[in-house]
């Protein structure tokens, strides 16, 4: 029988004691554990029913960052014990207030996915996890493009293309280090200055971006960011305190 305990069979040896005061504090309750255990049973079966073009992933937020506790299908080559990605972290940091339905994601190999992220809430209304559903739409996209090409040749209005679809730059890392590396690289790119040339204002800006995107919900993120920016972990905490103080003043 599948249960949350199964999720510990991978990568448990790599999980150090969480000493970060910034980790997400979703503690499991009896109700949330029962809920997650039930979903652990359903997720692989549901993916099999839908078919090989479907992947369903269950994340348990009490196990961040290695939060995948059940998965059915192999579109993204992930497995139990793999981490959450930066896209979902940002949604959690923002309060996990809104489900995202039918957004578009393109994999590194060019395949197109239609994805949905649905938050799982306990009886208190607290988001304790999420279900991510990915559908491989590659064949549909190819068919649509072919029909659209014929329509253009015939001078017929193309009603199949819709540019209003939400497109998300989402990746599917296999390790926590990949999650942190992706987030930090993106922040540095947005700041526009390499770490060795950064002044304090640049580093604070980078930390602000990473805070907004939820990276500091991941244990060891403070140490990782400190190394990448060439400062001490205490400096990162000072930046975070400074930024959070500004948020309080604005409130």
Which residues, 6 or more positions from 157, have their beta carbon under 8 angstroms from its beta carbon? 151
pLDDT over 70 percentage in the chain:
77
State the pLDDT confidence band at 1, using cuts at 50, 70 and 90. very low
State the pLDDT confidence band at 149, using cuts at 50, 70 and 90. low
> Does 189 score more than 80 pLDDT?
yes
- pLDDT, tens digit (0-9, with 9 covering 90-100), for 62-112: 999 999 999 999 899 999 999 999 999 999 988 877 898 889 888 888 888
28 located within any domain: yes
Q: What are the start-end ranges of the H helices in 8-120?
A: 30-50, 86-93
65 located within any domain: yes
Looking at residue 12, its pLDDT comes to 39
pTM score, whole prediction:
0.74
Among 14-28, 39-53, 144-158, the range of highest mean pLDDT:
39-53
Q: Shortest CA distance to 88 belongs to which of 112, 111, 60, 114?
A: 60
Which residues, 6 or more positions from 71, have their beta carbon under 8 angstroms from its beta carbon? 43, 44, 47, 55, 56, 57, 58, 78, 79, 80
73 vs 56: CA distance, rounded Å: 7
Looking at residue 14, its pLDDT comes to 40
> Helix, strand, or coil here: 72?
strand
Between CA 42 and CA 52, with CA 48 as vertex, the angle to 5 degrees is 140
Looking at residue 144, its pLDDT comes to 59
Distance of CA 220 to the CA centre of its chain: 17
Looking at residue 72, its pLDDT comes to 94
Q: What is the chain's alpha carbon radius of gyration, rounded to the nearest angstrom?
A: 20
Of 5-14, 43-52, 101-110, 188-197, give the lowest mean pLDDT range: 5-14
- Domain extent for 238: 176-250
Question: What is the average pLDDT score of the chain?
Answer: 81
> Does 31 score more than 70 pLDDT?
yes
Looking at residue 233, its pLDDT comes to 94
Q: Are residues 130 and 189 both part of a single domain?
A: no
Q: What are the start-end ranges of the H helices in the chain?
A: 30-50, 86-93, 138-153, 176-191, 200-212, 221-229, 233-250
Looking at residue 152, its pLDDT comes to 60
67 located within any domain: yes
CATH assignment of the domain containing 64: 3.30.450.20
Q: Are residues 111 and 202 both part of a single domain?
A: no
Looking at residue 250, its pLDDT comes to 60
State the pLDDT confidence band at 10, using cuts at 50, 70 and 90. very low
Q: Are residues 35 and 112 both part of a single domain?
A: yes
Q: Are residues 18 and 133 both part of a single domain?
A: yes
Q: Which tokens belong to 35?
A: 């809920």
Q: Are residues 214 and 98 both part of a single domain?
A: no
8 vs 4: CA distance, rounded Å: 8
Q: Are residues 65 and 127 both part of a single domain?
A: yes
Q: Shortest CA distance to 185 belongs to which of 169, 200, 201?
A: 169
The burial of 85, by beta-carbon neighbours within 10 Å (0-12 exposed, 13-18 middle, 19 or more buried), is given as buried
> Does 17 score more than 50 pLDDT?
no
């Amino acid at each position: 029988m599948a249960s949350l305990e199964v999720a510990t069979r991978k990568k448990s040896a790599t999980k150090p004691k969480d000493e970060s005061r910034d980790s997400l504090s979703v503690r499991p309750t009896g109700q949330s554990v029962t809920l997650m255990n039930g979903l652990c049973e359903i997720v692989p079966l549901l993916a099999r029913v839908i078919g090989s073009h479907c992947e369903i992933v269950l994340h348990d937020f009490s196990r961040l960052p290695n939060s995948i506790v059940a998965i059915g299908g192999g579109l993204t080559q992930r497995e139990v014990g793999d981490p959450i990605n930066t896209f979902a972290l940002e949604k959690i940091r923002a309060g996990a207030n809104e489900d995202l339905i039918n957004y578009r994601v393109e994999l590194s190999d060019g395949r197109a996915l239609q994805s949905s992220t649905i938050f799982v809430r306990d009886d208190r209304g607290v988001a304790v996890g999420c279900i991510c559903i990915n559908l491989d739409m590659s064949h549909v996209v190819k068919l649509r493009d072919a029909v659209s090409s014929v329509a253009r040749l015939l001078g017929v209005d193309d009603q199949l293309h819709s540019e209003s679809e939400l497109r998300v730059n989402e990746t599917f890392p296999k390790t926590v280090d990949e999650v942190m590396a992706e987030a930090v690289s993106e922040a540095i790119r947005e700041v526009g200055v390499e770490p060795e040339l950064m002044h304090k204002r640049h580093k604070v800006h980078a930390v602000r971006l990473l805070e907004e995107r939820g990276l500091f919900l991941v244990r060891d993120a403070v140490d990782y960011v400190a190394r990448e920016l060439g400062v001490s972990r205490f400096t990162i905490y000072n930046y975070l305190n400074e930024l959070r103080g500004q948020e309080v003043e604005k409130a």
